Amino acid sequence: DIPSLCDKYKNYFKIGVAVPYKALTNPIDVALIKRHFNSITPENEMKPEALQPYEGGFNFSISDEYMDFCKKNGIAIRGHTLVWHQQTPSWFFQNPQTGEKLTNSEKDKKILLERLKKHIQTVVGRYKGKVYAWDVVNEAIDENQPDGFRRSDWFNILGPEYIEKAFIWAHEADPKAKLFYNDYNTEDPYKREYIYNLIKSLKAKGIPIHGVGVQCHISLNWPDVNEIEETIKLFSKIPGIEIHFTEIDISISKNMVEGDDMYNRSLLIEQAKKLEKIFNVLKKYKNVVKSVTFWGLKDDYSWLQGDFPLLFDKDYQPKFAFWSLIDPS
Ligand code: XIL
Q: How sure is the predictor about 258, in pLDDT bands with cuts at 50, 70 and 90?
A: low
Complex confidence, ipTM: 0.99
Q: Which of 87, 91, 90 is nearest to 55 (CA)?
A: 91
230 contacts: CB under 8 Å, gap ≥ 6: 187, 189, 192
* Adjacent-strand bridge partners of 243: 212, 289
pLDDT at 306: 87
Residue nearest to atom 16 of ligand 1 (CA): 43
Any idea what DSSP says for residue 90?
Answer: G
For the entire predicted model, the pTM comes to 0.97
Angle of helix 161-173 relative to helix 189-204, nearest 10 degrees? 60
pLDDT at 257: 57
Query: What is the 87 CA–ligand 1 centroid distance (Å)?
Result: 9
Which one of 43, 88, 215, 216 would you pick to mutate in the ligand 1 pocket, going by the greatest count of ligand atoms within 8 A of its CB? 43
Out of 43, 45, 229, 247, the active site residue is 247
Question: Going by DSSP bridges, is the β-strand pair 131-138/178-183 parallel, antiparallel, or unpaired?
Answer: parallel
pLDDT band at 262 (very low <50, low <70, confident <90, very high): low
DSSP assignments along 157-202, one per residue: HHTTHHHHHHHHHHHHH-TTSEEEEEES-TTSHHHHHHHHHHHHHH
Contact 198, 150 (CB under 8 A): no
Q: Three-state SS for 40?
A: strand
- DSSP symbol at 102: P
Contact 95, 143 (CB under 8 A): no
For the CA of 303, the closest atom of ligand 1 is 3
Q: Specify the pLDDT at position 254.
A: 62
Is residue 227 flagged as an active site residue? Answer: no
pLDDT digits (tens, 9 = 90+) for 197-248: 999 999 999 999 999 999 999 999 999 999 999 999 999 999 999 999 999 9
Using CA atoms, how far residue 286 sits from 17, 65, 83, 133, 281, in Å, is 19, 31, 28, 17, 9
The mean pLDDT of the chain is: 96
- φ, ψ of residue 145 to 5 degrees: the values are -90, 140
43 lines ligand 1 (CB under 6 A): yes
Residue 26 pLDDT level (bands cut at 50, 70, 90): very high
Residue 273 host element (H or E) = helix 261-284
